[in-house]
Structure 1
Amino acid sequence: MNSMSNATVGSQRRMRALAFISFLAIASLLTTTVLHFTSSSSPLCPLPSPLPPHLFDALVHYALVSNASSSHMHSSDLLAISAVLRRRTPCNLLVFGLGPETLLWRALNHGGRTVFLDENEYFTSLFEQRHPGLEAYDVAYTTKVSEFSDLLSAVRAKVKGECRPVQNLLFSDCRLAINDLPNQLYDVAWDVIVIDGPSGYSPASPGRASAIFTAAVMARSQALRPTEVLVHDYERELERVFSDEFLCAENMVGTTGKLAHFVVQPNAATAAAADFCVNHSATSSPADIPP
């Protein structure tokens, strides 16, 4: 009887010892795995940094030197946009329109995300093929410059509904809303938006009404920080009227004549607003944008 009892006790001890050893082995394995995971996910790579000042200045300088022969953008406009990027980069930069300055904007926003939208599907594809890594998407605009008055009236009639200032554009039925972009672009808090497209030089051109409206809603519908919106060709009637309607005179901080600079607050500051602008009749003249 005692021998059986001793055998049972010995067996139990061996089982406890085996269980303890197994526990140590599993704990060791888990510890090694956690340490490996922690080490591999630690911030060994530095955070994105802006372009060194001397390289930034060099890029702008050579862009200005070649400006007369290869760029449609006036030097003062190019300098104004560069000044904004110098302050905000690395940032989330959205540019309506592909053109001679495309590679400059992408380079100046070193370390940030730069996305381009263009009306020409072939041109967009060609740009991406020639410049690997460039992020660009084509947009099928449904508006025309000749529809100026009808577009403005239609949006004004629905500014408290489908065309409200703060909304999810992906599901918008507003006539001016661009809602066919890749879904993830609507979740980005854009720091700077440059509107240099689509074309608007003839009655049959798409015009920039949709681009301006969409930029205004994007700026207001994010909750993080102000968005700086720069509208090129502001001297043209459509660009001026739609900018004043949706980006608002009270948000304008500067102009070069052909370029208007607006700073739009996010939804925390505009959620209670029933309209885009506080004062549509504001006529104050903003100071020129410093170079």
Structure 2
Amino acid sequence: MKGISGAKLILLQPTPNKGVGGWASQLGVSPHHRVWLIAFISFLTFASLFTLLTTTSRDNSNAAHLSAQFSSSIPLSSPLPSHIFDTLLHYALASNSSSRMDDGDLRAIASVLRRRSPCNLLIFGLGQETLLWRALNHGGRTVFLDENEYYAAHFEERHPGLEAYDVSYITKVKELPDLLAAARAQVKTECRPVQNLLFSDCRLAINDLPNQLYDMPWDVILVDGPRGYHPSSPGRMSAIFSAAVMARSQGAGSTEVLVHDYEREVERVCSEEFLCVENMVGHTDQLAHFVIPRSAAGSADFCANRTAATSPSVPSGSS
């Protein structure tokens, strides 16, 4: 029991009157100095917090400024990078859809867009290639015209940003001979090659589009609509005539016009009548490619080297 009886007991008692300020009393700080010490510590805390907030705000401002500079350095009308262009065309050619264009026609149109885009592109007809044409003309303006207002609205709803308008065609394929005869008779008046179609009374003129479209200098026009496979179908007489007038009437350069289904009589006859053989620069079995120069306001005829007037028969349908 020696170890136990020899132990000493140490008792710890609290020091009176120290409380919160005990540490200050031990340091020998007077109450007056204690107030200044607390004020100094509070000032340091406030200064540190203010510096932190200011630095964070400055960093955010710099980041926003750099982001704005980076965004503004990217051209809004830059063309589609070539590898993306090639990829989109590759998958379009690989499609097994029965309603798509032939490979040669797809390649020919894509070649024009590769060279001209970003550009003002006007397309008659909505279809299998609609989204492809819009994508290949990245940075440009692509406008679609279709005979079916519900189809146009459907495309715009499904694909935000797509610009499509419906057209009311008053022609029929079976009326081709009469329509051509009337256009030839009025070639110096209502059906002249240079005019604003908005005010035209020519039977072949499309004059119910938004006003701005008539003032647009179109770089490329593709005629792939409306329907023309039946005598009672609207046919593409108005589309080809209007494309020919638009190409000649606005801007300072030339317009490339492509007509699909060129093997059919309506497309072939109207192209020769209004786009002219002397302006043809290439063709496939189903696609004709014309380059139309701007014309003077007093131009008397569509074709400078017209030889003999074409006498079309009454089309019986698709060929």
In which range does the TM-score fall when normalised by the shorter chain?
Answer: 0.7 to 0.9
Q: Which residue of 2 aligns with 1:83?
A: 111
Larger-gyration structure (1/2): 2
* Match for residue 86 of structure 2 among 57, 63, 70: 57
Normalising to structure 2: TM-score of the pair?
0.73
* Match for residue 167 of structure 1 among 195, 216, 224: 195
Q: Which residue of 1 aligns with 2:48?
A: none
> Shift of residue 273 of structure 1?
2.8
Please tell me whether residue 278 in structure 1 is matched to residue 307 in structure 2.
Answer: no
Q: Which amino acid aligns with 2:303?
A: C
Q: In the aligned structure 2, how far is the partner of 1:226 from the partner of 1:207? A: 26
1:59 counterpart SS class: helix
Q: In the aligned structure 1, how far is the partner of 2:151 from the partner of 2:168? A: 13
Q: Which residue of 2 aligns with 1:239?
A: 267
* Match for residue 126 of structure 2 among 98, 117, 130: 98
Summarize the Cα distance change of 1:199–1:155 in structure 2 as closer, same or farther, 3 Å threshold: same
Q: Which residue of 2 aligns with 1:141?
A: 169
> Shift of residue 225 of structure 1?
1.1
Q: Which residue of 1 aligns with 2:183?
A: 155
Please tell me whether residue 266 in structure 1 is matched to residue 289 in structure 2.
Answer: no
> Shift of residue 280 of structure 1?
2.0
Q: In the aligned structure 2, how far is the partner of 1:184 from the partner of 1:150? A: 31
Does the 8 Å contact 2:224/2:259 carry over to 1? yes
The unaligned stretches of length 5 or more in structure 1 are 1-42, 283-291
Does the 8 Å contact 1:71/1:101 carry over to 2? no
Q: In the aligned structure 1, how far is the partner of 2:194 from the partner of 2:244? A: 9
User: Which digits, 9 at most, give the CA deviation of each residue in 1:214-245, with x for residues without a partner?
Assistant: 00000000132100000000000010000000
* Match for residue 222 of structure 1 among 232, 235, 250: 250
Q: Which residue of 1 aligns with 2:17?
A: none
Q: In the aligned structure 2, how far is the partner of 1:90 from the partner of 1:143? A: 33
Q: Which amino acid aligns with 1:51?
A: L
Q: In the aligned structure 2, how far is the partner of 1:209 from the partner of 1:51? A: 33
The unaligned stretches of length 5 or more in structure 2 are 1-71, 309-319
Q: In the aligned structure 2, how far is the partner of 1:171 from the partner of 1:59? A: 40
Does the 8 Å contact 1:93/1:112 carry over to 2? yes
> Shift of residue 271 of structure 1?
3.9
Q: Which residue of 2 aligns with 1:36?
A: none
Does the 8 Å contact 1:48/1:112 carry over to 2? yes
Normalising to structure 1: TM-score of the pair?
0.79
Q: In the aligned structure 1, how far is the partner of 2:255 from the partner of 2:130? A: 20
Q: Which amino acid aligns with 1:281?
A: T
Residue correspondences, number: 239
Does the 8 Å contact 2:199/2:207 carry over to 1? yes
Task: Give the 5 Å matches for 1:108-119.
Answer: 108-119=136-147
Q: In the aligned structure 2, how far is the partner of 1:92 from the partner of 1:181? A: 16
Q: In the aligned structure 1, how far is the partner of 2:178 from the partner of 2:99? A: 33
1:69 counterpart SS class: coil
Q: In the aligned structure 2, how far is the partner of 1:69 from the partner of 1:206? A: 25
> Shift of residue 195 of structure 1?
0.2
1:95 counterpart SS class: strand
> Shift of residue 44 of structure 1?
6.0
User: Which digits, 9 at most, give the CA deviation of each residue in 1:224-268, with x for residues without a partner?
Assistant: 21000000000000100000000000000000010000000012x
* Match for residue 240 of structure 2 among 197, 204, 212: 212
Summarize the Cα distance change of 1:45–1:63 in structure 2 as closer, same or farther, 3 Å threshold: closer
Q: In the aligned structure 1, how far is the partner of 2:100 from the partner of 2:232? A: 21
Q: Which residue of 2 aligns with 1:129?
A: 157
Does the 8 Å contact 2:194/2:298 carry over to 1? no
Does the 8 Å contact 1:158/1:164 carry over to 2? yes
